[in-house]
RNA sequence: GCCGGUGUAGCUCAGUUGGCAGAGCGACUGACUUGUAAUCAGUAGGUCAGGGGUUCAACUCCCUUCACCGGCUCCA
């Protein structure tokens, strides 16, 4: 038997007589074989114990290989399950995949067991895992026919379900130690001794197959890395993310609150959070006007019949609050702004010469979120959307999409976000799912793609991810610590224009149905604000900072001077405070520092005599003395430029 | 909604087998008059999440409601 071995440097060698992928590699480079975790055989990952096929190409896969970590973590999950089965023999196995780039961890395993796992159990499971690593237990692959597998696992309903659904003619299983065997595609690392750094993180509830009607499972999350250092770095990063938690910073910086006695998921914006929100709103409104949007306002409630007409009462009722009767007519708190904007469009007749019409609103909507899913500002029951709808002709669609995208990118860059783009189109295999005719869909998908290409924006095409009413572009932003957040969306809507029968009069003097494009840049202002807090870790750029400058007199003798400086700054439209407490300068600085105030202006006797201030910048510290008017002018220009930096 | 956990002063958290409610920070008052991340002293601040029960006695035990935290298929 002859097999080709290809090494990472690209060198290929012909080898014969090897019984396993490991031996094959070892014939060329024994050290590399030992370092390998799995092998790639004809571009598929396989166990090192796999018997090579005649004529196949084998490549070693080591730590350095991007795919290796996923296998390693999957094997870590099996290690977890093996330990659990030794300690808790009655537990039944669910699924146990590897997770990549998930803040929750690097792997998990689901178990079905009557008793809950306690935090103390986690510690003993982890200890057992270490013992199994020490024993260097091998991961063994067992293959059997599907029928045989179903027979052998007939006691295990969950596994039979998976085997029935996923198994090919041959089903594969892996064992680890004497107690663990699970249906698993593999591949796995050769033995548990290779797992160097791991940690169990938490235990949580989950449903079998994510289905609420299915049996409840207990999920144990863990993380693993090739080295201890990587593990520690990850834990540190996690701590860093915790420090940025908008719920914590929201309280510490007095930005907002959510008060359970007034309602879960309902946000109270405090003055400081309100200032930031207004800065964001002013920015968007300026941009909207500049870009030819009409700014509109619509009511919070409307007759329920409107939502019947729009279809929301049908397919969206789960998220809608119950209607209320007013004068025996049912009214509905709005979960969306779209029907109202349609109402404005339809309030008068339009010529094709009027188009495109762009209507924008910061519209507050209310949606029912189930009690367990609320999360700070990220998931709430009442929020304000930066919502807009474009009504245009098919010929104008591309320019409108382009305008939306340019707008979105401008906004995200202003806040210092990176971004990635997805284009969601129809599932060609399931045409019945979608509303509207083929030609419309093709036009829309093409225009979305062309606009992306015109901007040279790299994007991922998501087949079958379009909504039933139209294709869309989604933009995800990436924050300062690399987390992705779904924010912007540009969607075609073929449903509402049809349902409301809106029209414009075309050049041919006949009525036509306009194209409707729905777009949002922030999605929800509440959520966007939460993301911003975490992105900046509460240290907002000058144009957003609720307190931009804090004036700090060294002793009470400079209090009057500090007040005058503060007034002068306010006169220059800078948001300034003076700290007149009877504290030492160190304490005042610490206070301003913890409040993440961008500039601190220290005034002692020297400064008071010369109309200057000693400027201290949040991150860089003391910058030396500067005339007050000069500081004000420079700070103003930073504000006007919406600078992300504090370089005076 | 479901699984697990948590709920004590504005914040972070102690509080033994059921037996008088605690600390640090913060707030307030006073003294100090201070030069780049915490001056000292004093004072106030609590329906122990809400409701019900067991008990001579409940922050503590039981039931229940509410809220919050972690999670609820990136496929065996």
Each residue of A461-507: pLDDT tens digit?
999 889 999 999 999 999 998 888 999 999 999 999 999 999 999 99
Same domain, A149 and A208: yes
- Tell me, in Å, how far CA of A127 is from C1' of B14? 30
Indicate whether A589 and A612 sit together in one domain. Answer: yes
Residues A494, A620: Cα–Cα separation, whole Å: 53
Tell whether A395 is covered by a domain.
yes
Structure tokens at A312: 């929301």
Residues A382 and A470 in one domain: yes
- The residue that minimises its CA distance to C1' of B68 is A260
* Co-location of A41 and A129 in the same domain: no
C1’ B65 / CA A392, Å: 52
Strand B, CB < 7 A, residues 522-561 of A: 554-557
Nucleotide nearest to A379 (CA to C1'): B68
Condensed to tens digits (0 to 9), the pLDDT of residues A523-557 reads 999 999 999 999 999 999 999 999 999 999 999 99
pLDDT of residue A35: 92
Token code pair at residue A109: 């395993």
Q: Which nucleotide is nearest to A95 (CA to C1')?
A: B76
pLDDT confidence of residue A628: 96
**Crossing angle, helix A559-571 and helix A628-640, to 10 degrees?**
40
* Residue A164 in this model has a pLDDT that exceeds 90: no
Check which CATH number belongs to the domain holding A390 and give it: 3.30.930.10
For strand B, the positions having any atom within 7 A of a protein Cβ are 1-5, 11-12, 27-28, 30-39, 66-76
Domain count for chain A: 4
Of the residues A13, A35, A61, which one is the last residue of a structural domain?
Answer: A61
Examine the pLDDT at A340 and tell me if it is beyond 90: yes
- pLDDT tens digits for A424-475? 999 888 888 888 888 999 999 999 999 999 999 999 999 988 999 999 999 9
Strand B near-CB residues (< 7 Å), A 350-379:
370-376
Nucleotide with the nearest C1' to A183 CA: B76
Instruction: Look at residues A535, A563, A582 and tell me which one is the last residue of a structural domain.
Output: A535
| A271 falls within a domain | yes
In this structure, is the dihedral angle defined by the CA atoms of residues A171, A174, A178 and A179, taken in order, positive or negative?
Answer: negative
Q: Are residues A71 and A37 in contact, defined by beta-carbon separation less than 8 angstroms?
A: yes
Sign, CA torsion A535/A536/A541/A543: positive
The verdict on A528 and A575 lying in the same domain is: no
Separation in Å: B67 C1' and A264 CA: 8
Most confident of A79-93, A428-442, A584-598: A584-598
On the question of pLDDT at A1 being above 80, the answer is no
Is residue A246 one of the residues assigned to a domain?
A: no
**Residues of A designated catalytic:** 338, 367, 385, 387, 389, 472, 518
A210 touches strand B (CB under 7 A): yes
A245 belongs to a structural domain: no
Confidence band for A167, pLDDT divided at 50, 70 and 90: low
A531-to-A376, A411, A476, A612 alpha-carbon distances in Å: 11, 14, 12, 37
Q: CA A481, C1' B49: Å apart?
A: 35
| Helix residue ranges per DSSP H, A361-437 | 397-414
Tell me the mean pLDDT in the region A115-128.
85
pLDDT reported for residue A341: 97
In this structure, the answer to whether residues A166 and A101 fall within a common structural domain is: yes
The complex scores an ipTM of 0.92
Identify the residue with better confidence: A295 or A64. Answer: A295
Number of CB atoms found within 10 A of residue A472's CB: 24
Segment holding A261, helix H or strand E: none
Query: CA A269, CA A277: separation in Å to the nearest integer?
Result: 9
pTM as predicted: 0.92
Whole-number distance in Å between A251 CA and B12 C1': 13
CATH of the domain at A607: 3.40.50.800
How distant is C1' of B12 from CA of A483, in Å? 28
Task: State the Cα–Cα distance between residues A594 and A596, nearest whole angstrom.
Answer: 5
**Spatial distance between the Cα atoms of A266 and A119, rounded to a whole number of angstroms:** 32
Q: Is residue A560 part of a domain?
A: yes
State pLDDT tens for residues A370-410: 888 999 999 999 999 999 999 999 999 999 999 999 999 99
Is residue A307 assigned to a domain? Answer: no
Q: Judge whether A96 lies within some domain.
A: yes
More confident residue, A11 or A512: A512
- On whether both A409 and A481 belong to a single domain, the answer is yes
- Stretch among A568-572, A580-584, A614-618 having the lowest mean pLDDT: A580-584
Side-chain half-sphere CA neighbours of A325 within 13 A? 2
Residues A154 and A106 placed together within one structural domain of the fold: yes
What mean pLDDT is reported for chain A?
92
**Strand B atom within 7 Å of A35 CB:** no
Residues A187 and A286 in one domain: no
Specify the pLDDT at position A642: 97
Do A553 and A457 share a structural domain?
Answer: no
pLDDT computed for residue A108 by the predictor: 94
Query: What residue numbers bound the domain in which A560 lies?
Result: 549-640
pLDDT at position A203 is: 86
**Is A310 part of a structural domain of the chain?**
no
From residues 620-639 of A, list those within 7 angstroms of strand B by Cβ. 621-622, 625
- Pair (A29, A167) in one structural domain: no
Residue A150: what pLDDT?
86
| CATH code (residue A145) | 3.30.980.10
What local confidence, expressed as pLDDT, does residue A76 receive? 96
Q: What is the pLDDT of residue A372?
A: 85
Nucleotide whose C1' lies closest to the alpha carbon of residue A167: B76
Q: Which residues 471-510 of A interface with strand B at a CB distance below 7 A?
A: none
Stated in angstroms, how far is A588 CA from B42 C1'? 22
Same domain? A574 vs A633: yes
- Report the pLDDT value the prediction gives residue A575, as an integer from 0 to 100: 97
pLDDT surpassing 70 at residue A177: yes
């Amino acid at each position: 038997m002859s097999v080709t071995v290809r090494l990472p440097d690209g060198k290929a060698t012909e080898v014969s007589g090897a019984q396993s992928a490991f031996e094959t590699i070892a014939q060329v480079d024994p050290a590399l074989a030992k370092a390998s975790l799995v092998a790639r055989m004809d571009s598929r990952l396989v166990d090192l114990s796999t018997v090579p096929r005649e004529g196949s190409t084998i490549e070693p896969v080591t730590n350095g290989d991007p795919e290796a970590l996923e296998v390693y973590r999957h094997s870590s999950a099996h290690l977890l399950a093996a330990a659990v089965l030794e300690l808790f023999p009655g537990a039944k196995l669910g699924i146990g995949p590897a997770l990549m780039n998930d803040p929750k961890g690097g792997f998990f395993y689901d178990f079905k067991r009557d008793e809950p796992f306690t935090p103390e159990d986690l510690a003993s499971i982890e200890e057992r895992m270490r013992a199994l690593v020490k024993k260097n237990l091998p991961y063994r692959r067992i293959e059997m026919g599907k029928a045989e597998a179903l027979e052998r696992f007939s006691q295990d309903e969950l596994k039979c379900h998976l085997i029935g659904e996923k198994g090919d003619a041959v089903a594969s299983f892996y064992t680890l130690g004497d107690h663990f065997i699970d249906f698993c595609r593999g591949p796995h690392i050769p033995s548990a001794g290779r797992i160097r750094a791991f940690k169990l993180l938490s235990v949580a509830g989950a449903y079998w197959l994510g289905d609420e009607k299915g049996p409840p499972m207990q999920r144990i999350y863990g993380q693993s890395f090739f080295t201890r250092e990587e593990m520690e770095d990850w834990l540190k990063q996690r701590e860093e993310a915790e420090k940025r938690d908008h719920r914590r910073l929201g309280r510490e910086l007095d930005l907002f609150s959510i008060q359970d006695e007034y309602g879960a998921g309902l946000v109270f914006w405090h003055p400081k959070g309100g200032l930031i929100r207004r800065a964001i709103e002013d920015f968007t409104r300026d941009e909207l006007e500049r870009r030819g949007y009409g700014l509109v306002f619509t009511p919070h409630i409307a007759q329920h019949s409107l939502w019947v007409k729009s279809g929301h009462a049908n397919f969206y009722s789960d998220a809608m609050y119950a209607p209320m009767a007013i004068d025996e007519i049912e009214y509905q708190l709005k979960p969306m702004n779209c029907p109202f904007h349609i109402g404005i469009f339809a309030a008068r007749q339009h010529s094709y010469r009027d188009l495109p019409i762009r209507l924008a609103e910061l519209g507050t909507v209310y949606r029912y979120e189930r009690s367990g899913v609320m999360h700070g500002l990220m998931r709430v029951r009442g929020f304000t959307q930066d919502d807009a709808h474009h009504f245009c002709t098919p010929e104008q669609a591309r320019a409108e999409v382009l305008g939306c995208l340019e707008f979105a990118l401008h906004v995200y860059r202003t806040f210092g976000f990176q971004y990635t783009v997805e284009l969601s189109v129809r599932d060609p295999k399931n045409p019945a799912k979608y509303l509207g005719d083929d030609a419309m869909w093709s036009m829309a998908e093409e225009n979305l793609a062309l606009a992306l290409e015109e901007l040279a924006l790299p994007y991922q095409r998501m087949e079958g991810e379009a909504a039933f009413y139209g294709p869309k572009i989604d933009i995800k932003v990436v924050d300062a610590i690399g987390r992705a957040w779904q924010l912007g969306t540009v969607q075609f809507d073929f449903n509402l224009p049809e349902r409301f029968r809106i029209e414009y009069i075309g050049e041919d003097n006949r009525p036509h149905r306009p194209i409707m494009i729905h777009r949002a840049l922030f999605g929800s202002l509440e959520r966007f604000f939460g993301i911003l807090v975490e992105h900046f870790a509460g240290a907002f750029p000058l144009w957003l900072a609720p307190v931009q400058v804090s004036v700090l007199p060294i002793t009470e003798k400079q209090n009057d001077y500090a007040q005058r400086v503060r007034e002068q700054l306010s006169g220059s439209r800078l948001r300034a405070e003076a700290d007149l407490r009877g504290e030492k300068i160190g304490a005042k600085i610490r206070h301003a520092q913890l409040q993440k105030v961008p500039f601190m202006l220290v005034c002692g006797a020297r400064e008071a005599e010369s109309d200057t201030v000693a400027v201290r910048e949040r991150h860089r510290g003391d910058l030396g003395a500067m005339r007050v008017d000069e500081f004000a002018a420079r700070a103003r220009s930073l504000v006007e430029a919406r600078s992300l930096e504090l370089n005076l």
